[in-house]
Amino acid sequence: MLTMEDYLRVREDFNPFVQNGGKRSEDHTILELGEISAEEQKFHVPGHGHNANGAVRPGVYMNTLTPRQMESLTTLCNTFVPQLDVPSCVAADEATAKFYRTSASMTGAPEQLGGLISERMEHPKLRLMKLTLWLLSTWIGTFILCGMKSMSREFPYFRSFPQLPHKRREEIIMSWSNSAILQLRMFASAMKLLALLIFFTMVDEKDDNPSWKAIGYCGPDPEFKKQLRRLTLPTTPSPIPSPPRPPPSQHFIYHQDIFGPLHPGLIQMSTPRDAVANSLQRLGFPVSICPLKDNPTLMPFPSLSIQGDAVVVGSGSGGGLVAGVMAKAGYRVLVLEKGSYCARTNLSLLEGPSMDQMYLQGGLLATANMGTLVLAGSTVGGGSAINWSASIRTPQHVINEWSNVYGLELFDSKLYADALDVVCKRMGVQSEISKEGFHNAVLRKGCNELGYPV
């Protein structure tokens, strides 16, 4: 959406909130908004697509991998999720039998993964990954990467990865996982993670996944789904009859129910410049449109000059709070958020599409060595919109460490304790639970058995 670093300049480097002791400033921060990159928009435009519930579905990605790369990718996916015969010892119901018989390629997982690799993944080793996929489609590349395991006793003696029998491919991937060569270990773990992630989270047109019944997952919470359907827009295609339109006095509440409480203050930066300027003006930000010829040399394509008191970049737990406090104190605050806004009614309630829509890089952001997946929210609300809200007051031993060891005395002050009170009250932080979630119950049981205090 906004490519901040390239196009944004905030002039006048004073902080009105601090300098004026919380009083409204007569001066302004001038924000020059340059060309807006619609690069990420194609994945996030609300209304881009809807699922069976009428909820927003993220975009479909264009797969630009070559046929050779796709051949290797498909074989790799099928090595992790092969088509299997149902073992006679398993009293399989229909769903379980189907699960056994379904390989990754039968669900279209490799194509979907190809699209994600092509358009969504950003990683310094992405080129290497694509090169490896290509190499595996050739016999010589397979020999280099897999060694003697890629050879056959029969003609042709050298085989490409897709030509190898399933068992041999499994052995090769196992050997990569334990290899002394970091890049092979990285490739094996990345492929495993991606193939399984896509296989278990992708959904068909009916929002179903062939593995869910077999593994005992019921899909999106049916109760919450019902609540959302009641709020579906009358014009949105939905199998459930739309609710009657409320009387005009209730329009505002109804509108917010559907589009979310923040909708009135949102401006989509992909809309035409004039429309952005009008919306900003309607919200109380004086705006001037700079003709391109008046372009200062520093800015490549400045288009809007906006007057406000503060600009907050990012609407997560940190930025959202700062913006909220300042706005409440009377400042005109502009919050720049690169993610999209997902109102409750726009939630698909499906892990795969939601991750794609609400997580930074669609949840595919990994460390340089691909050892750790970095999960972070990238949506209005940032991490607070997707996190689990497990909240505790800062423990005293942590406060002591921050204050005594690192000299951060603020944390041992009454000011900080009071701030914690406010946050805890606002969020309803408490340790009483009426029903413990399954994964917490498992964690608690494990800790108890290991003798850890819980």
Ligand X SMILES: Cc1cc2nc3c(=O)[nH]c(=O)nc-3n(C[C@H](O)[C@H](O)[C@H](O)COP(=O)(O)OP(=O)(O)OC[C@H]3O[C@@H](n4cnc5c(N)ncnc54)[C@H](O)[C@@H]3O)c2cc1C
How far apart, in Å, are the Cα atoms of 329 and each of 281, 325, 326, 402? 20, 6, 5, 29
How far apart (Å, rounded) are the C-alpha atoms in residues 349 and 220?
A: 5
**Residue 108 zone, left/alpha/beta (φ > 0; ψ -120 to 50; rest):** left
For position 390 contacting ligand X by CB under 6 A, the verdict is yes
Task: Out of 233, 258, 267, 376, point to the residue binding ligand X (CB under 6 A).
Answer: 376
Interface with ligand X, residue 362, by CB under 6 A: no
Could you tell me how many residues of this chain bind ligand X (CB under 6 A)?
Answer: 27
Q: SS3 for 142-206, per residue?
A: HHHHHHHHHECCCCCCECCHHHCCHHHHHHHHHHHHCCCCHHHHHHHHHHHHHHHHHHHHCCCCC
Least separation, in Å, of the C-beta of 4 and ligand X?
4
Q: Which stretch binds ligand X (CB under 6 A): 9-17, 83-91, 112-120, 307-315?
A: 307-315
Residue 196 or 231 having the CB closest to ligand X? 196
Q: Among 30, 45, 375, 423, which residue interacts with ligand X (rule: CB under 6 A)?
A: 375
DSSP annotation of 54 reads S
CA 370 – CA 429 distance, rounded (Å): 35
β-strand partners of 359: 377
- 141 contacts ligand X (rule: CB under 6 A): no
Which of 79, 315 has the CB closer to ligand X? 315
Q: Does 337 bind ligand X (CB under 6 A)?
A: yes
Structure-token pair, residue 75 = 């074989």
Q: Is 309 in the site for ligand X (CB under 6 A)?
A: no
User: Measured between alpha carbons, how far is 140 from 417 in angstroms, rounded to an integer?
Assistant: 65
Residue least distant from ligand X (Cβ): 316
- Quote the least distance from Cβ 44 to ligand X, whole Å: 11
Instruction: Give whichever of 7 and 99 is closer to ligand X, judged by the CB atom.
Output: 7
Going by the DSSP 8-state scheme, the letter that residue 367 receives in this structure is -
Interface pick for ligand X out of 20, 307, 387, 403 (rule CB under 6 A): 387
Q: Tell me: does residue 317 bind ligand X (CB under 6 A).
A: yes
**Local structure of 255: helix, strand or coil:** helix
Interface residue with ligand X among 97, 313, 327, 373 (CB under 6 A) is: 313
Is 339 a residue that touches ligand X (CB under 6 A)? Answer: yes
> Would you count residue 44 as binding ligand X (CB under 6 A)?
no
Which residues in this chain contact ligand X in the complex, by CB under 6 A? Answer: 2, 4, 313-319, 336-339, 375-379, 382-384, 386-391
